[in-house]
Amino acid sequence: MLMLYQRDIQRVLSNLVLQCLMLKPSRLVDPLTVDLRNLNSLAKIMRQRRCERGALTLASAEVKFEIDSETHDPLDIGIYQIREANQMIEEFMLAANVSVAEKILKHFPLCSLLRRHPSPTKEMLEPLLRTASSIGLNLDVSSSKALAESLDNAKSNDPYFNKLIRILATRCMTQAVYFCSGDLTFSEYYHYGLAASLYTHFTSPIRRYAGLFPILRCSDA
């Protein structure tokens, strides 16, 4: 089985194969390269459709540290840069989570472990609205789609402005939570941030214990 790391995928997607890996030009059209680029094209379509449904693109800066290999002291700090490879992998992980949620709910309607994201209240969004209003920005928060469109249209001469507004919007969101499907009605299953009627955590079980339950349920379905 061939295992690829994100950095390897990114080199293919960003047309840096020759410079980074010193590969022959024929490698640019080999099956692996073609498959990765096709997957990336499909992921972009999936992402666009998800955004059209009202999925939010927020901002939560992920910090990375450079550590001295001998002393283990921190040498530098920076922001982790999101690349095309990250976005492609994320899109298919989201699709897998939605698909598994649909499958386990169909077979176990009363005892499936799902994940929901309640809509933020008006009070929770007040800091965002107040800050936006102070700089002459009018945000529509009537729905996740309306908020997403407002954030997309929030522009300024400051290149960091839009990212800062999205970070503030992230701070105003409710916390997504796990729940048992039998405890709530279907209308309460909705994931606000992803604009998904069903969602669970099936991918990356090594990162979260709760991710094991959908895997076990899926294997039993």
| CB contact at 8 A, 118 and 194 | no
Residue-level pLDDT at 71: 87
Query: How many CB atoms are closer than 10 A to CB 47?
Result: 17
Per-domain residue ranges of the chain: 84-220
Residue-level pLDDT at 93: 94
Q: How far apart are the first and last CA of the chain?
A: 27
What is the C-alpha separation between 221 and 217, in angstroms, rounded?
A: 6
Residue-level pLDDT at 18: 40
What is the C-alpha separation between 40 and 34, in angstroms, rounded?
A: 10
Residue-level pLDDT at 19: 44
Residue-level pLDDT at 27: 54
Q: What stretches in the chain show pLDDT beneath 50? A: 16-23
What is the C-alpha separation between 33 and 24, in angstroms, rounded?
A: 13
Residue-level pLDDT at 155: 82
Structure tokens at 52: 């059209």
Residue-level pLDDT at 24: 52
DSSP class of residue 179 equals: E
User: Measured between alpha carbons, how far is residue 136 from residues 44, 133, 154, 156, 163 in Å?
Assistant: 32, 5, 10, 11, 17
Residue-level pLDDT at 13: 64
Long-range contacts of 160-164 (CB under 8 A, 24+ apart): 163/59
Using alpha carbons, select from 135, 137, 152 the residue that is nearest to residue 48: 152
DSSP class of residue 110 equals: T
Q: Does the model's pTM come out above 0.85?
A: no
